[in-house]
C-alpha cells in the first residue's frame, strides 16, 4: 500500500468509528480479533444494503423467493458439502515471532513483490508452483517453496518456520446439555447449504418451476487463520446468496447472465466502473465448471467482493447421497426427472459495506482566496443513506424549534430523520455531510410566515426553498427505491 492509500484506508476505519458506523467488538475489553459491531448508523446502512439486494433479487424476479434458514444445521450437512474434510487453509508459524500465517498468502505476497520489481517471469513461475501445490494439497511442497524463495516473517525477519499444517475453518460447538450425549454441531461457514437442504420444501410448497432461485441473507462464521483489513476478512460476517436452479446443459447461459446482472447491480449504486473488474478462476473447485469473482479496487488492491459460481449438481447430489432422500425435479417440459444444476451468486455484506464507504468518503477542499476550508463528505447514493434528511431550526428560539419538530414528526412517518438544534447551522451541515445525509431542511423565520423551508443538498451544497407541505413528496422523489431499481430492469 502506498502512503496515500494507506492513509485513506486509515481514514475510512477511523471515520467509521468516529461517526458510529463500525466499532471493534467488546472494545472495553480491548476488542476481539476480527469481530466488529455495527453502530447506530452502520446498522442503518447495512439494513439499506440488504434491502437493496433483497428487492433486486426477490422483488424484481417472479421466479426467485427468499428464505431464512437456521445457523445450526444437522452435522451431516457439512460432511456432505465437503466442509468437514476440505474446508481448510494451510497455516505456518514463525518460531521466533510466534506469529501465524497462511502459507499460500505468504507466497502470494512474494508474487506481488516480484511483479512490482518487474520480475514477471519469476512471478509467473511462482504462481504456477503455488497453484500446483494447492490443487494437490501438497503441504510439504508449500514449505519447500517458502524456503526456496527465502520468504521471511515480516515481524521477526527470520525464516525459522514450522511445518505447514491444514487448519479447518469451521467453528464447532456442542448442542444439548449433557456433555456425553451432546452432539457436535458447527456454526455455518456459508449460508448456501441452508438453501440446498430446503430445495424440495421450497420447490413443492412454492410450486416453483425450473429455472428458479432461492435467496438468503444471513450470518456465516469462519475461523480465519489470519483476519485483517478491518471488515474485509472477519470471523463472523454476513452473506447474501442466491442459488439458482436450472436444467442441466443450460447452466453456462445462466452463469453469463448472472455475471452481467450482478456487476450492473454494483454499478447502479453510482460507483466508479473503473473500480470493478471480473477475475475468472483458472483453477476451479472440484464442484464447479465455471467461476468468476467481482473484484473491487480497495485501498489495498483489487480483492473479491462477490463470487459467481456454476456449481453443477454437486451439492444436491451429495445431499441426496448422504440423506438417502431423492432431491430431484420432474421437468414437465421435457418429461424427465433430474437433479438440477446450480448457479450461485454469493456476496459478502461486510465487504460490500466497505466498498460503499471507500467509494463515498471524500475530503473536499473548499478554500477560497480569503480562507482555507474543507469538508468531509460521505457521498452515499441517497437511497441507501442511513439518514435521509436532517431537520434544523436556524435558532433555538422564536418558535423555530417547535415548527421544526412539527415538520420532523410528519417526515419521520416515512423516512429516517434526524432533528438537530445544537451549534451554528454551518457546523450542523458539516456534521450531516460527514454521515452522508443527502438533504438538510432548515427552518427559519420566513418559515413561520409562509411555511417555506430551505433544502440544502449534500453534494452540490445548493440551497432552495420549498413549501413544507411538499417535503414528503420532494424527499420521496429523491430517495425512492425506484431510482435504484429502475436501472436494473
Which residues are documented as binding site?
102, 190, 222-224, 237-241, 304-305, 344-351
Angstrom distance (rounded) from CA 306 to CA 32: 26
Nearest distance, CB of residue 303 and ligand ATP, angstroms: 7
Q: Which is nearer to ligand ATP, 344 or 420 (CB)?
A: 344
Among 52, 186, 199, 237, binds ligand ATP (CB under 6 A): 237
* Closest chain position to ligand ATP (CB): 348
**Which residue, 161 or 353, is less far from ligand ATP as judged by CB?**
353
**Residue 223 C-beta: closest distance to ligand ATP, Å:** 9
Task: Map the footprint of ligand ATP across residues 294-323, applying CB under 6 A.
Answer: 304-307
Asked if residue 206 lies in contact with residue 215, where contact means CB atoms within 8 angstroms, the answer is: no
Nearer to ligand ATP, 110 or 222 (CB): 222
Q: Check binding of 42 to ligand ATP (CB under 6 A).
A: no
- At residue 445, the 3 state secondary structure works out as helix
CB of 297 to ligand ATP, least distance (A): 15
- Binders of ligand ATP among 330-389, rule CB under 6 A? 346-348, 350-351
Of residues 230 and 439, the one with the C-beta less far from ligand ATP: 230
**Which residues lie closer than 8 Å to 335 by C-beta, 6 or more apart?**
none
∠ at Cα 473 (471, 478), nearest 5°?
Answer: 95
Nine cell digits for residue 33? 480479533
Q: Name the nearest CA neighbour of 472 among 428, 417, 424.
A: 417
CA 475 distance to own-chain centroid: 27
DSSP string, 236-291: EEEEEEEEEEE-TT-HHHHHHHHHHHHHHHHHTTT--GGGEEEEE-SSPPTT-SEE
**Smallest separation (angstroms) from ligand ATP to the CB of 298:** 11
Half-sphere exposure of 479 (CA within 13 A, CB side): 26
Residues that bind ligand ATP (rule: CB under 6 A) add up to a total of: 16
Q: Which of 37, 96, 115, 224 is in the footprint of ligand ATP by CB under 6 A?
A: 224
Q: Is 104 in the site for ligand ATP (CB under 6 A)?
A: no
Is the distance from CB of 285 to CB of 291 less than 8 angstroms?
Answer: yes
H helix count then E strand count, the chain: 17, 23
CA 400/CA 55 separation, integer angstroms: 39
What's the min distance (Å) between Cβ of 277 and ligand ATP? 14
Please say which residue, 384 or 387, places its beta carbon nearer to ligand ATP. 384
- Tell me the per-residue interface mask from 156 to 195 with ligand ATP, x by CB under 6 A, - otherwise: ----------------------------------x-----
Closer of 92 and 217 to ligand ATP (Cβ): 217
Q: How far is 329 from 248, CA to CA, in rounded Å?
A: 11
Residues 407, 164: Cα–Cα separation, whole Å:
64
* Least distance in angstroms from the C-beta of 329 to ligand ATP: 25
DSSP state for residue 156 in the 8-state scheme: T
Residues making up the annotated binding site for ATP are: 222-224, 304-305, 348-351
Interaction pattern, residues 245-284, with ligand ATP; x per rule: CB under 6 A: ----------------------------------------
Stretch that binds ligand ATP, among 18-26, 232-240, 319-327, 370-378 (CB under 6 A): 232-240
Q: In this chain, which of 222, 388, 403, 428 binds ligand ATP, going by CB under 6 A?
A: 222
User: Is 216:69 a contact under the CB 8 Å cutoff?
Assistant: yes
- Please identify, among the stretches 159-167, 234-242, 387-395, 438-446, the one whose residues bind ligand ATP according to the rule CB under 6 A: 234-242
Q: Write the Ramachandran bin of 227: left for phi over 0, alpha for psi from -120 to 50, otherwise beta.
A: beta
Contact 235, 35 (CB under 8 A): yes
Residue 239 makes contact with ligand ATP by CB under 6 A: yes
- Quote the CA–CA distance of 116 and 380 in Å, as a whole number: 34
Polymer length of the chain: 489
**Residues contributing to the site for ligand ATP (CB under 6 A):** 190, 222, 224, 233-234, 237, 239, 304-307, 346-348, 350-351
Amino acid at each position: 500500500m502506498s502512503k496515500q492509500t494507506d492513509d485513506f484506508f486509515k481514514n475510512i476505519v477511523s471515520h467509521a468509528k468516529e461517526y458510529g458506523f463500525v466499532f471493534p467488538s467488546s472494545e472495553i475489553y480491548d476488542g476481539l480479533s476480527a469481530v466488529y459491531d455495527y453502530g447506530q448508523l452502520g446498522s442503518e446502512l447495512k439494513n439499506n444494503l440488504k434491502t437493496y439486494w433483497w428487492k433486486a433479487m426477490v422483488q424484481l424476479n417472479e421466479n426467485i423467493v427468499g428464505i431464512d434458514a437456521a445457523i445450526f444445521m444437522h452435522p451431516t450437512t457439512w460432511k456432505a458439502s465437503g466442509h468437514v474434510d476440505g474446508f481448510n487453509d494451510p497455516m505456518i508459524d514463525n518460531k521466533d515471532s510466534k506469529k501465524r500465517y497462511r502459507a499460500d498468502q505468504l507466497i502470494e505476497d512474494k508474487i506481488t513483490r516480484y511483479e512490482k520489481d518487474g520480475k514477471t517471469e519469476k512471478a509467473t513461475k511462482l504462481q504456477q508452483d503455488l497453484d500446483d501445490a494447492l490443487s494437490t494439497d501438497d503441504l510439504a511442497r508449500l514449505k519447500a517453496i517458502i524456503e526456496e524463495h527465502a520468504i521471511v516473517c515480516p515481524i521477526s525477519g527470520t525464516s525459522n518456520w514450522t511445518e505447514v499444517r491444514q487448519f479447518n475453518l469451521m467453528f464447532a460447538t456442542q448442542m444439548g446439555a449433557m456433555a456425553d450425549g451432546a452432539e457436535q454441531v458447527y456454526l455455518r461457514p456459508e449460508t448456501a447449504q441452508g438453501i440446498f437442504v430446503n430445495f424440495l420444501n421450497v420447490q413443492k410448497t412454492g410450486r416453483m418451476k425450473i429455472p428458479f432461485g432461492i435467496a438468503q441473507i444471513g450470518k456465516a462464521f469462519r475461523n480465519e487463520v489470519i483476519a485483517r483489513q478491518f471488515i474485509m476478512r472477519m470471523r463472523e460476517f454476513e452473506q447474501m446468496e442466491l442459488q439458482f436452479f436450472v436444467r442441466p446443459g443450460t447452466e453456462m447461459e445462466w452463469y453469463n447472465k448472472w455475471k452481467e446482472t450482478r456487476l450492473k447491480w454494483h454499478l447502479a449504486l453510482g460507483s466508479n466502473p473503473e473500480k470493478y473488474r471480473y477475475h475468472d478462476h483458472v483453477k476451479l473447485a472440484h464442484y464447479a465448471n465455471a467461476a468468476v469473482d467481482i473484484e473491487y479496487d480497495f485501498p489495498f488492491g483489487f480483492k473479491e467482493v462477490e463470487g459467481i459460481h456454476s456449481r453443477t449438481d454437486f451439492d444436491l447430489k451429495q445431499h441426496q447421497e448422504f440423506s438417502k432422500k431423492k432431491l430431484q425435479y420432474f421437468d414437465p417440459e421435457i418429461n424427465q426427472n433430474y437433479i438440477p444444476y446450480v448457479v450461485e451468486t454469493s456476496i459478502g455484506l461486510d465487504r460490500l459495506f466497505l466498498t460503499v464507504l471507500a467509494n463515498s468518503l471524500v475530503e473536499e477542499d473548499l478554500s477560497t482566496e480569503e480562507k482555507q476550508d474543507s469538508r468531509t463528505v460521505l457521498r452515499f447514493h441517497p437511497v441507501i443513506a442511513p439518514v435521509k434528511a436532517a431537520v434544523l431550526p436556524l435558532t433555538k428560539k422564536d418558535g423555530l424549534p417547535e415548527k421544526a419538530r412539527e415538520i420532523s414528526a410528519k417526515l419521520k412517518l416515512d423516512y429516517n430523520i434526524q432533528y438537530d438544534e445544537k451549534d451554528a447551522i454551518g457546523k450542523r451541515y458539516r456534521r450531516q455531510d460527514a454521515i452522508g445525509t443527502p438533504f438538510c431542511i432548515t427552518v427559519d423565520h420566513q418559515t413561520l410566515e409562509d411555511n417555506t423551508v430551505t433544502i440544502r443538498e449534500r453534494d452540490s451544497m445548493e440551497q432552495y426553498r420549498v413549501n413544507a407541505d411538499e417535503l414528503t413528496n420532494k424527499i420521496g422523489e429523491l430517495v425512492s427505491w425506484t431510482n435504484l431499481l429502475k436501472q436494473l430492469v
